[in-house]
Amino acid sequence: MSDFGGAPSIKVDSVSKVYAGGKRALTDVSFEVEAGSFMVLLGPSGSGKSTLIRCIAGLERVSEGTIQFGSKTVSSKGLHLKSEERELSMVFQDYALWPHMTALDNVAFALKRRALPKSQRKTQAISMLDRMGLMHLSDRYPQELSGGEQQRVALARALVARPGLMLFDEPLSNLDADLRERLRVEISTLTREVGATTLYITHDQSEAFALADYVGVLDRGRLVQLDRPEVLYSKPKTPFVARFTGLAGDLPAVVNSVESSRSVVSALDGSSWLSAHSNVPLKMGEKVRILVRAAAVKMAPLLASGVDRERETLSGTVSDVAFRGIGYEHVVQVSDGHVLSGIFSERRHSRGTAVLLSFDPDGCILFPEKSGDESLITLEDQDQSQLTDETCFEASQSIS
């Protein structure tokens, strides 16, 4: 088993990475992953998540800061433990199965570091392939396998030596939706079965939420939030995190009243108002944006609506509808021209239907208008902000 005492914890401390050409990929990234837990790093392309996982894998050197596995430092400015000495395994986006080796040889390769006799390596590799349901394909070459089969062989290769640390570099992004879901379940169960510490990067928030014990969100080389998925969803710390974790849309508004709990407030210009919450202090009259989660919006036809039109509603028109199996998702243009998408209803509302939207305050998050996506937080900030009680704000939507 691992030199780092089974599954190691990972400590990334103030890591920065600047490439030889001068391109800065990571800036002062710090976080810890508990031994045996599953952490997902989420971010768009160019956010630095690949660089970060490559630094942890030992495929890139860090420019500043340190990385520790357990108590052992594996990377710092003057120290770089080679990848092959870090006792980890990795699943690549492009699978990286060696094209001239059969599925069995690819899997058995990972056991070389265990110094087992060849026959034993083969037996273990076969049993791993069997576990993955790939036994009948063991003699095939990678190019003779489908994309999903190739990725399962890559997964078998990563799991077979039971490494303490497993890294996943967007392993599902080349697969179709159905296969992605099935493999996600396999990754989730198998890594937990092995008990490895797992670090997984993706740009897909639903994948991140489904897999992770903890999710870290990266934006332009900085870690902007690290939390449990539920916290990340309900209390995003920046508009970027809120947007990246799924929104129906956002609406401009003005703070009309500030209270410690949700309460009824009067509407601006007498037509519409919403109740929402924020994690940052807001002032009366401050311009804000309401970031709306799709799940927080309910819709009903305007005429049949039983909701009080004067309160917590917006009227709009359905501009698109898509059948999603269990119901319908709608795109609604609200009366001021803003668009909210992904609004679910079990009933179909045809294009052009006038509807009334009501909002759950828990799914409406306020950010000051001036707070850009560059609003960043450090690890210390995160700890402090977790102690802050939730404060609710009510804001009127400004009809612009």
Partner 1 sequence: MKALVTSSGPQGIVEAADGPNGHNRRVRSWRGLSEAFAATFQTVTERIGWPLFWVILVLVLILPSAAFLILAVSPHLFGQGLAWFTLSSFSSALSGVTLQGMRNSVVVGVIAAIFATLVGSFLAFGLQRTNMKGKGLFSVAIWGILLLPSYIIAVGWQVLLDRGGVLASINLFSPRLLNLFFGPAGYALILGIKGVPFAYFAMAGPISSLGSSYEEAIRTHGGGRMEVLRTLGPVLMPALFSALVVVFAESIADFGTAAVIAPNAHFPVATYNLYVALSSYPANFSEAAVIGWMLVTVVGIALAVQHHSMKRRRFATLGGKAAAARIKYVGRWGQLVNLVGFLLFFAVALGVPILGALSSSMLKPLSSMSMGHLSFFAYRGIFNVNGFGSSIVFSFKMAVLNASLAVILAAVIARRLTSKKVGVIGKLLDVTVIAAIALPGLVLAAGYIFVYNLPILQSIGLHLYGTVTVLAMAYLAGALPSSSRVLVGPMAQIQGSLLEAARVNGSGAFHSWRKAVLPLLAPSLLWAWLLTFAGTFLELPASELLAPPGVTPVSVAIVQILNKSNLYQGTALSIVALLIDLGMIVLVMMIFRTLAPKGWRRVGGRVI
Q: Under a CB-based contact definition with an 8 Å cutoff, are residues 137 and 105 in contact?
A: no
In this complex, which beta carbon is closest to partner 1, that of residue 203 or of residue 311? 203
Quote the least distance from Cβ 162 to partner 1, whole Å.
13
Task: Write the burial class of residue 85 (CB in 10 Å: 0-12 exposed, 13-18 middle, 19+ buried).
Answer: exposed
Q: Under a CB-based contact definition with an 8 Å cutoff, are residues 251 and 58 in contact?
A: no
Tokens found for residue 384: 């402090």
Regarding 167 and contact with partner 1 (CB under 8 A), the answer is: yes
Which one of the spans 85-93, 121-129, 187-195, 306-314 is the region binding partner 1 (CB under 8 A)?
A: 85-93
In this complex, which beta carbon is closest to partner 1, that of residue 89 or of residue 245? 89
Regarding 157 and contact with partner 1 (CB under 8 A), the answer is: yes
The edge-to-edge listing of strands for the beta sheet with 24-33 is 24-33, 10-18, 64-69, 72-75
* Torsion over CA: 195, 199, 203, 205 (sign): positive
Q: Which residues contact 389 (CB under 8 A, 6 or more apart)?
A: none
Regarding 90 and contact with partner 1 (CB under 8 A), the answer is: yes
Which one of the spans 131-139, 140-148, 256-264, 381-389 is the region binding partner 1 (CB under 8 A)?
A: 140-148
Regarding 98 and contact with partner 1 (CB under 8 A), the answer is: yes
d(CA 126, CA 128): 5
Regarding 22 and contact with partner 1 (CB under 8 A), the answer is: no
Regarding 109 and contact with partner 1 (CB under 8 A), the answer is: yes
d(CA 226, CA 382): 8
Which one of the spans 41-49, 51-59, 197-205, 342-350 is the region binding partner 1 (CB under 8 A)?
A: 51-59
Size of the site for partner 1 (CB under 8 A): 35
Regarding 155 and contact with partner 1 (CB under 8 A), the answer is: no
For 373, phi then psi, to 5°, come to -75, -5
Quote the least distance from Cβ 16 to partner 1, whole Å.
17
Which residues in 281-340 contact partner 1 (CB under 8 A)? none
Task: Write the burial class of residue 207 (CB in 10 Å: 0-12 exposed, 13-18 middle, 19+ buried).
Answer: buried
Quote the least distance from Cβ 214 to partner 1, whole Å.
22
Regarding 72 and contact with partner 1 (CB under 8 A), the answer is: no
Quote the least distance from Cβ 103 to partner 1, whole Å.
13
Q: 106, 63, 113: which is closest to 85 by C-alpha?
A: 113
Quote the least distance from Cβ 334 to partner 1, whole Å.
37
Which residues in 170-189 contact partner 1 (CB under 8 A)? 174
Regarding 356 and contact with partner 1 (CB under 8 A), the answer is: no
In this complex, which beta carbon is closest to partner 1, that of residue 109 or of residue 344? 109
Task: Write the burial class of residue 117 (CB in 10 Å: 0-12 exposed, 13-18 middle, 19+ buried).
Answer: exposed
Which one of the spans 63-71, 93-101, 250-258, 282-290 is the region binding partner 1 (CB under 8 A)?
A: 93-101
Regarding 23 and contact with partner 1 (CB under 8 A), the answer is: no
Regarding 59 and contact with partner 1 (CB under 8 A), the answer is: yes
Q: Partners of 322 in the beta sheet?
A: 329
Regarding 43 and contact with partner 1 (CB under 8 A), the answer is: no
In this complex, which beta carbon is closest to partner 1, that of residue 12 or of residue 296? 12
Residue among 3, 94, 193, 320 that touches partner 1 (CB under 8 A): 94
Regarding 25 and contact with partner 1 (CB under 8 A), the answer is: no
Q: Give the N- to C-terminal CA distance of the chain in Å, as an integer.
A: 63
Residue among 22, 45, 78, 82 that touches partner 1 (CB under 8 A): 82
Residue among 23, 72, 77, 100 that touches partner 1 (CB under 8 A): 100
Quote the least distance from Cβ 293 to partner 1, whole Å.
34
Q: Which residues contact 177 (CB under 8 A, 6 or more apart)?
A: none
Q: Which residues contact 211 (CB under 8 A, 6 or more apart)?
A: 38, 40, 184, 187, 188, 200
Q: How many residues does the chain have?
A: 400
3-class secondary structure, 176: coil
Instruction: Give the residues lining the site for partner 1 (CB under 8 A).
Output: 20, 57-59, 82-84, 86-90, 92-101, 109-110, 112-113, 142-143, 147, 150, 157-158, 161, 167, 174
